[in-house]
Structure 1
Amino acid sequence: MITSKKICHFTSPHPRYDTRIFRKECSSLADQGYRVDLIVADGEAEESVDKIHIHGIKAPKNKLVRVFITPFRILRKAIQLNADLYHFHDPELIIIGLILRLKGKKVIYDIHEDLPRQLFVQKHKSKFKRKTMEFFLEKFENFGAKRFSALITATPHIGKRFRKLNDNTWVINNFPILNELAAQKEDYSSKKNEVCYVGGILRVRGIIEMVQALEFGDTKLNICGEFPNSGLKEETMELAGWNNVIDHGFSSREKVGEVMSRSLAGLVLFQAYPNHINSQPNKLFEYMSASLPVIMSNFEYWKEITDKYACGISVDPENPIEVAEAIKKIKNNPKEAKQMGENARKAVEEVYNWSIEKKKLLALYAKLLDE
């Protein structure tokens, strides 16, 4: 398909090669023949990669600048590009989306997270503060959601909330690209005595419990990701289990694939915050796509996946001993673990993959641009 239609994606906090925005959505649209521009606030030079034209505007110095000044820098560039359809990814850009709507443009709001239930709201100890923030954030987001040409949500749970506000709401799950991290064909018994965690390293994503679990065995933990600050890293390094950590730091997709291929299992141990319980972490499905058994938090939705596909073990994410026992079970039962990994891969091939979600994305674009 060849088209003269121009598409503009824009984001303020995400990196230019973000997996969902760049590798999945923008790449799928460019492959379909659309002219795709991507605006990112990273201060880097303009470039064209895989038929996607990336525009780097000035990087914000702090969060206040990102929220109150960067959006208008993005708006200036977005207006210059004069696209047929705009697609943005962050709640702080709702105002910019509304301005573009007032200019007669078609605008999609891509909702990755349930904003009022996010950690920065839930961490407040005062119930009054939490409820007040939830109320105003939800009212603000709902006001914008009703006025956009379409909404995309990254999970069915978020989709339920927004379908009440906008009939043109589409759930486009953040499932993995099918063969990006596919495991090499090798004997499962040749894997190393290692497990892995891939992604942002946060206390609420279970880094402390993961490392504590290593104290109860001899299995090593590969970590592919960055600590948000030196304080958390220093605290984690003081744990006895750190001696069994292999810290790769920020890793390329190729490195992630290599680490997964040699690991016995993948860990995803989010703690029970409201925004986690109904989430669909990309790393969960990436582990599955790499034929890895998954040791995951025992949230009801996640547990439904392990029960249905027999692809992993559910544990209390705040209980390091339970995590350690799950690792030992995987290690000591290679035949069963291999079957779990094969079940996981099959589930991704049949259900949890980007090629299925891509069709929905292209159908939405065709609908909006034909109107």
Structure 2
Amino acid sequence: MPTMRIAHVTTVHPRYDIRIFRKECVSLAAAGYETYLVVGDGLGDELRDGVHIVDIGVAPSGRLARMREQPRKALQMLRRLDPAVIHFHDPELLRIGVRLAREGRKVVYDAHEDVPRQILTKQWIPAPLRRPLAWLFERYENSLVRRLSAVVTATPHITRRFAAVQPLSVSVCNFPLLEELSAAVDGGPRESAICYVGGITRTRGIRQLVSALALVPEVRLILCGSFEDAALEAELRAHPSWSQVEYLGQVGRAEVRDVMARSRAGMVTLLPMPSYMDALPIKMFEYMSAGLPVIASDFPLWRDIVVEHRCGLCVDPTNPRAVADAIRSLLGSAELAERMGAAGRTAVDRQFNWPHEEQRLLEFYRTLAA
């Protein structure tokens, strides 16, 4: 059994983040690695599921202050822990990653997102600045990543991008844990409802989805997540179709399972933004794991998955009528919805699941150790 000490680091994500803690860290600890997770939330240290969680303290208010102070404190903690491998999850930690790599340590960057493409959709960045900032960040990110030991990414698309600058690049997709949402498959009778679980933003098609509800007045939307900003929340609450929305706010994993058990379809109608076109949205696969047919944006990559596995319908996410037609088709035919939901669950059982990706992660760590 391996006894190598490793440390995952995040100063942005919550300590029980699904990808970082529940999947990667817990899997590595179960495989015998002495696993630490360095976080900055002020909740203190703890040992959970075999993972030593070490807290460097709550972040200061303000984005710039956080980006200045938290990496410095994380660096001090990592030097005290002295792990053989440092695996960090935030772009703002790249500079300390390079510093540690110069000291001869094995440093891994976990790229959850294609950040340059994300910058193109950031509403808080003035539109004329987005493209030049994305260009600059991509060159900055590439220049630092090539000095590290390896890159782990959440999609094959991001892996291909980094492979040009970092030979040891591997994709470990953020697919569902098999058992987590399975209770939703055998739950009670489903309601005349669809669900959306995730960040509620303009670019994720929430306006079009709420507008589509007016065309299917018999259907409710169970909405879970945090709004991008107060202005978007006020706009949607003022929409005539908001009366068909059951808004639950930010919910835990048990509540997510219950919401999926109540619903008849899962919505993932993100708008055609550069950062979404080649993404593999975890929510789509979680809907599938819960036995829900999906209504997904008609992007080529997503269409290949949905059509091949016959697990839902693809629509133009910018067209509320197209979204409404898909909702009507699935909720109007219990047999069709049940067949597509079962097909999605089978696809997750066979292919799109964390146990498969866990083996890729463990093989990567064996390669890194060698």
TM-score (norm 2): 0.95
**Aligned counterparts of 2:291 and 2:348: Cα–Cα separation in 1:** 9
Question: What is the alpha-carbon root mean square deviation over aligned residues?
Answer: 1.6
Whichever residue aligns with residue 222 of structure 1, its letter is I
**Aligned counterparts of 2:236 and 2:95: Cα–Cα separation in 1:** 39
**Aligned counterparts of 1:343 and 1:324: Cα–Cα separation in 2:** 22
The residue that corresponds to 1:117 in the other structure is 117
Tell me whether 80-89 or 53-62 shows the greater mean CA deviation.
53-62
Residues 247-284 of structure 1 deviation map (CA, whole Å, 9 limit, x = unaligned): 11111111111110111000011111100111111101
1:357 counterpart SS class: helix
How has the CA–CA distance of structure 1 residues 49 and 186 changed in structure 2, closer, same or farther, with 3 Å as cutoff?
A: closer
Contact 1:8-1:86 within 8 A present in 2 as well: yes
Unaligned runs of 5+ in 2: none
**Aligned counterparts of 1:126 and 1:61: Cα–Cα separation in 2:** 25
Deviation at 1:186, TM superposition (A): 4.2
Deviation at 1:74, TM superposition (A): 1.1
Equivalences for 1:1-371 in 2 at 5 Å?
Answer: 1=1, 3-57=2-56, 58-119=58-119, 129-184=129-184, 186=186, 190-217=189-216, 218-369=218-369, 371=370
Deviation at 1:230, TM superposition (A): 2.3
Deviation at 1:25, TM superposition (A): 0.2
**Aligned counterparts of 2:13 and 2:318: Cα–Cα separation in 1:** 29
How has the CA–CA distance of structure 1 residues 201 and 126 changed in structure 2, closer, same or farther, with 3 Å as cutoff?
A: closer
Tell me whether 338-347 or 114-123 shows the greater mean CA deviation.
114-123
Whichever residue aligns with residue 98 of structure 1, its letter is V
Whichever residue aligns with residue 89 of structure 1, its letter is H
**Aligned counterparts of 2:66 and 2:364: Cα–Cα separation in 1:** 29
Tell me whether 42-51 or 291-300 shows the greater mean CA deviation.
42-51
Tell me whether 13-22 or 42-51 shows the greater mean CA deviation.
42-51
Contact 2:185-2:290 within 8 A present in 1 as well: no
2:248 counterpart SS class: strand
Tell me whether 224-233 or 13-22 shows the greater mean CA deviation.
224-233
Contact 2:199-2:226 within 8 A present in 1 as well: yes
**Aligned counterparts of 1:121 and 1:210: Cα–Cα separation in 2:** 19
Q: Percent identity?
A: 41
**Aligned counterparts of 1:131 and 1:325: Cα–Cα separation in 2:** 35
Residues 4-45 of structure 1 deviation map (CA, whole Å, 9 limit, x = unaligned): 311100012111111100110001001111111111122221
Deviation at 1:108, TM superposition (A): 0.7
Whichever residue aligns with residue 20 of structure 2, its letter is I
Deviation at 1:121, TM superposition (A): 6.0
Residues 219-264 of structure 1 deviation map (CA, whole Å, 9 limit, x = unaligned): 1111121223322211111111111111111111111111101110
Whichever residue aligns with residue 199 of structure 2, its letter is G
1:118 counterpart SS class: helix
Whichever residue aligns with residue 136 of structure 1, its letter is L
How has the CA–CA distance of structure 1 residues 32 and 210 changed in structure 2, closer, same or farther, with 3 Å as cutoff?
A: same
**Aligned counterparts of 1:187 and 1:108: Cα–Cα separation in 2:** 41
Contact 1:121-1:134 within 8 A present in 2 as well: no
Residues 70-114 of structure 1 deviation map (CA, whole Å, 9 limit, x = unaligned): 211111111111111100111111001111111111011111111
Unaligned runs of 5+ in 1: none
**Aligned counterparts of 1:125 and 1:231: Cα–Cα separation in 2:** 17
1:216 counterpart SS class: coil
Tell me whether 57-66 or 83-92 shows the greater mean CA deviation.
57-66
1:345 counterpart SS class: helix
**Aligned counterparts of 1:59 and 1:120: Cα–Cα separation in 2:** 26
**Aligned counterparts of 1:147 and 1:317: Cα–Cα separation in 2:** 40
Whichever residue aligns with residue 159 of structure 1, its letter is T
Whichever residue aligns with residue 236 of structure 2, its letter is T
TM-score (norm 1): 0.95
Deviation at 1:176, TM superposition (A): 0.6
How has the CA–CA distance of structure 1 residues 48 and 348 changed in structure 2, closer, same or farther, with 3 Å as cutoff?
A: same
Contact 1:41-1:60 within 8 A present in 2 as well: no
Deviation at 1:126, TM superposition (A): 5.2
**Aligned counterparts of 2:232 and 2:130: Cα–Cα separation in 1:** 25
Residues 140-162 of structure 1 deviation map (CA, whole Å, 9 limit, x = unaligned): 11111111111111111111111
Whichever residue aligns with residue 325 of structure 1, its letter is D
Residues 271-323 of structure 1 deviation map (CA, whole Å, 9 limit, x = unaligned): 11100111111101100111110001111111111111111111111211211
Deviation at 1:185, TM superposition (A): 5.2
Stretches of 4+ moved more than 3 A in 1?
119-127, 183-188
**Aligned counterparts of 1:215 and 1:259: Cα–Cα separation in 2:** 22
Whichever residue aligns with residue 157 of structure 2, its letter is H
